[in-house]
Amino acid sequence: MFHDYGVINFWTFLAGALVIVMIPGPNSLYVLRTGISRGMRAAYRGVAGVVLGDMFLIFLAWAGIATLIQASPHVFTAVKYLGALFLSWLGIKIIWSALRQPPQDAPVPAVRQENYFLKALMLSITNPKSILFYVSFFIQFIDPATAHSALAFSVLGAVLQLISLSWMTFLLLTGAAVARWLGTRRRLVALVNSLTGLLFIGFAARLAATQS
């Protein structure tokens, strides 16, 4: 069935995609943190940003941009450090916000609005390793003899996004339960947010240290 669309070894792809999506990363962590601290509506704005960013990366992989980045050390380095800087900035911002939590008996301040969609989108598209992943992973499951590689990329991309949406929905439902349990425990919320910020800084350091 899937071979008609230029896709080979579909079930192997499905198993690999499930494992890859469930590995913790900046995207899922940001969506989970947003769901816990800002609610489901804000979190799904982040989910929409992640999905659009992944679709854009899949398009770049199909268009051959990933190969260009891999072949050009200067381009790869520039994109890599841009992604690391963004992750560091986001991590520091999360930690700073957590440290500025008011005292336990203080009134709850108004929630400052932020563009969750845009931040999640930037998280998706500023990681060069994600671009290279899409071309190196997807290409293994596309029939080299197919005359419609765009269709094959679309089928695999749709399946991957369906898995990603399902997994992030599960994370959000889990996060909603955690948020209800946290309730007014502001110090614990601040600790969770601080740890999240540190993880983002760790992701940035790991990205900056990677080689093309």
The whole model's pTM is what? 0.69
Q: Which of 92, 89, 99, 88 is nearest to 191 (CA)?
A: 99
Would the pLDDT of 96 be above 60? Answer: yes
Task: Tell the burial category of 70 from Cβ atoms under 10 Å away from its Cβ (0-12, 13-18, 19+).
Answer: middle
Q: Which residue has the tokens 């240290």?
A: 209
Q: Which residue has the tokens 């995207």?
A: 27
Which residues does 180 contact at the CB level (< 8 Å), separation at least 6? none
Question: Half-sphere exposure of residue 177, counting CA atoms within 13 Å on the CB side?
Answer: 5
The maximal CA–CA distance of the chain, rounded, in angstroms, is 67
pLDDT for res 117: 92
Would you give the end-to-end CA distance of the chain in angstroms? 36
SS3 state of residue 142: strand
- 163-177 pLDDT, tens digit per residue, is 989 988 888 888 777
Q: Which of 5, 20, 16 is nearest to 155 (CA)?
A: 5
Average pLDDT, the chain: 76
Which residues does 116 contact at the CB level (< 8 Å), separation at least 6? 34, 38, 42, 43, 45, 46, 49
- 115-153 pLDDT, tens digit per residue, is 889 988 988 887 766 776 776 777 778 887 777 778 888
